[in-house]
Structure 1
Amino acid sequence: MSDSAPFTPDDLDAYFRRIGWDGQGGAPSADVATLKAVHLAHARAIPFENLDPVRGTAPSLAPADLIAKLVGSRRGGYCYEHNTLFAGVLEALGFGVTRLGARVVVGAERFEDRPRTHMALLVEIPGEQRPYLADVGFGAPGALLEPLPLTPDTEFRAVGRRHRLVHAPHRGPLELWVLETRAAGDRAPWQAQYAFTLEPFEHPDFEVINWHIATNPRSPFSSRPYAQRVTPDRHLLLDGALLTETRTDGTVTERELTRDAEVREVLAQDFGIDVPDDGTDLLP
């Protein structure tokens, strides 16, 4: 199977079993309902994690390797792995998919200060005028759980989360879109998550970005474990040794992990990740 080879029917069956989605009783179709259902099921079933970069390895983006790792084992991945896998599944189902490069701008004063290191997807649905922003690989509490219509200045609420897309001024011929999220309560400020244009990025672009993020010693993903897991009632985030649980009612609890063995146990039991036993210390 080459990097551009489509997923086989067996691959799709294994993927749907992994995410616990049965096609709602029939063959999946390239429609809005299927896109939303598969997006949510993927987000809840396959964790976000960066254990390969922490172990000094750039993860493969080849379809066969993604199926083996994210589908065939108790592992997850980060954005390039999740969204490359998801894009291949959507294309096999008949959706049109454009890979996008985005700047993660959480906490940034200037969007231009952040490089385009995140991968998101623009999905075209047969018979629909508007494309959708899809993203099953954003490792943050502000991540999308369902895809978002590419419509500016409109709030969308889905699965307990609130998002909107806005335009922002910038230099360049293409419009700059910004994904924003809002905490519970109408007085909470909108918070920018990432910014992107609709310029298509290709597989070789993400191969280069993936290698850089996985191997650069200044990358946040090469120096400490980072994992995320979403369930219907809570969001779990492991950042280094800090474990944060956010319940759907907004309750937040934090716990500092002190031993490498404790981190491995939490990853296995709470995140559903089998940590490779190669002697690598996960905590710095």
Structure 2
Amino acid sequence: MADDTGEFDLDAYLGRIGWEGERRADAATLRGVHLAHMRGIPFENLDALRRLAPSLEPADLMTKLVHSRRGGYCYEHNTLFSLALQALGFRVVTRLAARVVVGADRRESRPRTHMALLVEVPGERAPYLADVGFGAIGALLEPMPLVVGAEVRDAERRHRLVHVAHRGPLEMWALEAYEEKAASWAEQYAFTLEPFEAPDFEVINWHIGTNPRSPFTQQLYVQRVSAERHLLLHGRLLTETLVDGTVREREVTEEAEVRRLLEAEFGVVAPEGMTLLTPPE
């Protein structure tokens, strides 16, 4: 990926995510900054809910995700993270396109609409799968080496990478998360190592951010991750999942309460005048 960090401010970004550790192109820094980003910047779809494809330009990402009380979805998060990695000295960061499998009956029924990253780390034999923009409880908290069958514990979660069958000349990888309650592995998304470029994701971003059939244009979707819990507001349902597996759910019915929750619990300030709740089905 070309070096396009000219409008990226590393100091401001690291301040936003609360990272005070080393600034080196090594595995420890990659893991630490990845985890800090996951806990520091929320996932949200407020632009797509207004049928707007958010800008992926570095200056606009800095304004929205770093200098404002906003978050974003995968293209914004992982584009911003790739700029940070370049600024930290990681020279080879490749954009990948993945099929999200969560909730699908067949892997092939989903298009490749998710952005993930493959990062080469100096001195390491295998590149790392990095992804700070997956809006699900099975998301990676820390990056993991691209090694078949290797299991990792990333902060409070467990993941592994496997090969899965598919039609095509390239091997297909799948990221799986371990679900403690079910005592089994659950596939999150599948991908090949074919590089995708910025123009590819400009098109995908426009489709996901504006298509009325996109899941992100239909209902509010906001998540925040901490060391203690995963908090999700999906439409009117607020779900809190603690690290011990305890789940608490409740319905939110008032616009004012949603706006208060966004600011107090998710760290997101919604645009004035925006309708946040869709009519109940």
Please classify the TM superposition score into its range, dividing by the shorter chain length: over 0.9
Is the CA contact (8 Å cut-off) linking 1:7 and 1:92 kept in structure 2? no
1:76 to 71, 77, 99: 71
Worse overlay, 46-55 or 104-113: 104-113
Worse overlay, 218-227 or 152-161: 152-161
Q: CA deviation at 1:110?
A: 1.8
Q: Which residue of 2 aligns with 1:282?
A: 276
Separation (CA, whole Å) in 1 of partners of 2:42 and 2:57: 19
Is the CA contact (8 Å cut-off) linking 2:3 and 2:86 kept in structure 1? no
Could you tell me the percent identity over the aligned residues? Answer: 67
Q: Within the alignment, does 1:156 sit opposite 2:152 as a pair? A: yes
Q: Which residue of 1 aligns with 2:179?
A: 183
Is the CA contact (8 Å cut-off) linking 1:240 and 1:283 kept in structure 2? yes
2:42 to 47, 50, 53: 47
Separation (CA, whole Å) in 2 of partners of 1:280 and 1:68: 19
Q: CA RMSD in A?
A: 1.3
SS in 2 for 1:53: helix
List, as ranges, runs of 4+ consecutive aligned residues in structure 1 with deviation greater than 3 Å. Answer: none
Q: Which residue of 1 aligns with 2:214?
A: 219
Q: Which residue of 2 aligns with 1:130?
A: 126
Q: Which residue of 2 aligns with 1:169?
A: 165
SS in 2 for 1:121: strand
SS in 1 for 2:37: helix
With the length of structure 2 as denominator, give the TM-score of the two structures. Answer: 0.95
- Cα separation, partners in 2 of 1:4 and 1:54, compared to 1, 3 Å: farther
- Measured against aligned partners, the alpha-carbon deviations of 1:156-177 in whole angstroms (never above 9, x if no partner) come to 1121101000000111110000
- Measured against aligned partners, the alpha-carbon deviations of 1:243-283 in whole angstroms (never above 9, x if no partner) come to 00001111000010001111111111000001110x22111
Give ranges in structure 2 of 5+ residues lacking alignment: none
SS in 2 for 1:264: helix
Query: Match for 1:263: what amino acid?
Result: V
SS in 1 for 2:193: strand
- Measured against aligned partners, the alpha-carbon deviations of 1:102-127 in whole angstroms (never above 9, x if no partner) come to 00001323211100000000000111
Q: CA deviation at 1:5?
A: 2.3
**1:1-284 paired onto structure 2 within 5 Å:** 5-7=4-6, 11-24=9-22, 28-95=23-90, 96-184=92-180, 188-277=183-272, 279-284=273-278
Query: Match for 1:193: what amino acid?
Result: Q
Query: How many residues are aligned here?
Result: 276
Q: CA deviation at 1:183?
A: 1.7
Worse overlay, 51-60 or 204-213: 51-60
